Structure 1
């Protein structure tokens, strides 16, 4: 069974596993990442992964953007959608990653289901935790943006 502490430990492990490579990310997440040539471009190779329903990993959709030689970035961008059956609260994230993140709210024109992010600056980039905007906010997405 996936718990909040499992997910938060996995996020820490992913952050420590940089630079992001499809094989390493897939191994840590326990799912297969497939290249998506139609979505890739001169600057990023895009990989997608999702669960097949036979297992219950903490993330049910994953997108990895790996920079090409033409990109100015040094490392990739990892976007993870949290399995809806797992509940992770803001308090649990604050307890694990620190009490003073930056708060990033969606613009008024953003879709209603756009998350509110707790953003942690790291020497390698940013770690963003997206929470639903309902009465009991729960973690819906995690973004590791290794842009430094």
Structure 2
């Protein structure tokens, strides 16, 4: 799957996590991100979670107070991307024992690390939660030993 970016955004539209895989121009990226967030947050629960935006597709889902937004190629399977979002949320939930916005804010490096274990250069490389979380838990143990 060719994922262009992965965003975690709160209900006020503040970006909590942003991972980009294909954007080159920072100014364009910032403007696009703001517009993408506005478009996704403006949708109601009864509206579709897929939006065509410029040359790619947006797939998003809200869990509690966070929106998970993925930009992908226009030919990608939207349902597969929704399943990936759900798997990412379950993985974060398992690691944080019920993930919240504060967990993400205070452990941003762990959230990025977990996403890096799942995605590499915009391609899904791992979907097994145990394998995704194993390296994170090793780092946690070494942090506890060094303190």
TM over 0.5: no
Normalization by structure 1: what TM-score?
0.30
- Greater share of strand residues, 1 or 2? 1
- Greater share of helix residues, 1 or 2? 2
Normalization by structure 2: what TM-score?
0.30
Q: Whose relative contact order is higher, 1 or 2, with alpha carbons under 8 Å and at least 6 apart?
A: 2
